[in-house]
Structure 1
Amino acid sequence: MKYYDTADEVLQRAATISLLLLDVDGVLTNGQLYYGEHGEVMKAFNTLDGQGIKLLQQNGIRVGIISGRKSAALSLRAAALGITLIAQGREDKAVALDELLQDHPCPLDRIAYIGDDLPDLLVMRHIGLPIAVPNAHDSVHHCAALCTTRAGGDGAVRDVADFLLRAQGKYEDALRAFL
């Protein structure tokens, strides 16, 4: 992980996170869209990210999605991972955040968000731990407290999952079931 704020400050914030919100295109995926001949859109999701999401959920950290694009593939992936906190097709992500928090309250300073492009800034400016992926737009890097080692679609969410679990002292227990 690359720190934009001091490591101590980032670790202190990470220790209090109870909700991780994710952008999709460029974070859960590599940002590429594949169009079929009948107009269907396909996306590839990384299984490392899926396992990281499950580890977070099993250790008391909720996971949600805010996406500017509506996608059947995303609906299927979210359902497979048990993610029910989801807003799709929402260009104004700040409004989407407010709506999600009405039904699932969480203090803003206890939210982490991973983003990669300009629409994500609408959320990142208001939450406790804004995180960028390496291939994010420069403005996103300037807003972020932290940058993942792995790129979007290549395990960036898993980087954050492991980081949050370590910061909260839950990482070793989370792995114990697999050892």
Structure 2
Amino acid sequence: MTEHALSDALKQRLHAIRLAVFDVDGVLTTGALNFLPDGQEVKTFHTLDGLGIKLLHQAGIRTAIITGRSSSQVSMRAKALGIHWCIQGREDKLVALEEIWQESGESAATTAYIGDDLPDLSAITTVAFGVTVPNGHPLVCKEADWCTTRRGGEGAAREFCELLLASQGKLNDLIGAFR
């Protein structure tokens, strides 16, 4: 865990997080677009990320997906993981995030967001803790508060989840349940 690399100010902001928001393509998936011969899109999700999201729920942190594309696979994955909000087909991620805040009573001060490309930038720079992946757009990497070591679709979301949980002193207890 690279929590020690965070400033004291970021650690303090992480302690207040009650909502974690995920982009899909490039974060929960590798960002590759795969299509079957009939035109149906196929997305591949990493199981490490799924368990990370479930651990957030066990710790009382609510979750959301905001993605620019629309896919039945995203809806199914969100439902299977118990994700609280799944907003698809939205290029303006910050407007979608503001809608979630209005419904949930959360705010920028209690939200962490992970994304990889320019449509995620306004959300990343608005929330208390904005995160990206190493293969994200260079401007997003420059503006984010933190960058995972794992690439999108390869456990980056799990790394994000565990950082949030560790910063709130909850990770060890949650992992201890598996021993």
TM-score band w.r.t. shorter chain: over 0.9
- The alignment's C-alpha RMSD in Å is 1.5
Aligned to 2:96: 96
CA deviation vs aligned residue, 1:20-40 (integer Å, no higher than 9, x gap): 100000000000011111110
Matched residue type, 1:147: C
User: TM-score, normalization: structure 2?
Assistant: 0.95
Moved over 4 A (4+): none
In the TM superposition, what is the alpha-carbon distance from 1:2 to its structure 2 partner? 6.8
Aligned to 1:124: 124
In the TM superposition, what is the alpha-carbon distance from 1:10 to its structure 2 partner? 2.0
Aligned to 1:172: 172
In the TM superposition, what is the alpha-carbon distance from 1:7 to its structure 2 partner? 2.6
In the TM superposition, what is the alpha-carbon distance from 1:6 to its structure 2 partner? 4.9
Aligned to 2:74: 74
Aligned counterparts of 1:158 and 1:117: Cα–Cα separation in 2: 19
**Structure 1 residues 51 and 148: alpha-carbon distance in aligned structure 2, compared to 1, 3 A threshold:** same
Aligned to 1:58: 58
Contact kept, 8 Å, 2:62 with 2:84, in 1: the verdict is no
Calculate percent identity across the aligned residue pairs: 49
**Secondary structure at 2:89 match in 1:** coil
Aligned to 2:34: 34
Contact kept, 8 Å, 1:34 with 1:42, in 2: the verdict is yes
Aligned to 1:156: 156
Greater percentage in helix: 2
Deviates more, 1:49-58 or 1:167-176: 167-176
Pairs aligned (count)? 178
Matched residue type, 1:114: I
User: TM-score, normalization: structure 1?
Assistant: 0.95
Which ranges of structure 1 fall in alignment gaps of 5 or more residues?
none
Aligned counterparts of 1:42 and 1:82: Cα–Cα separation in 2: 21
CA deviation vs aligned residue, 1:129-178 (integer Å, no higher than 9, x gap): 00010101011012111000111000001101111111101111111210
Contact kept, 8 Å, 1:117 with 1:136, in 2: the verdict is yes
Aligned to 2:86: 86
CA deviation vs aligned residue, 1:60-90 (integer Å, no higher than 9, x gap): 1111110000011100100100113111000
**Secondary structure at 1:54 match in 2:** helix
Which ranges of structure 2 fall in alignment gaps of 5 or more residues?
none
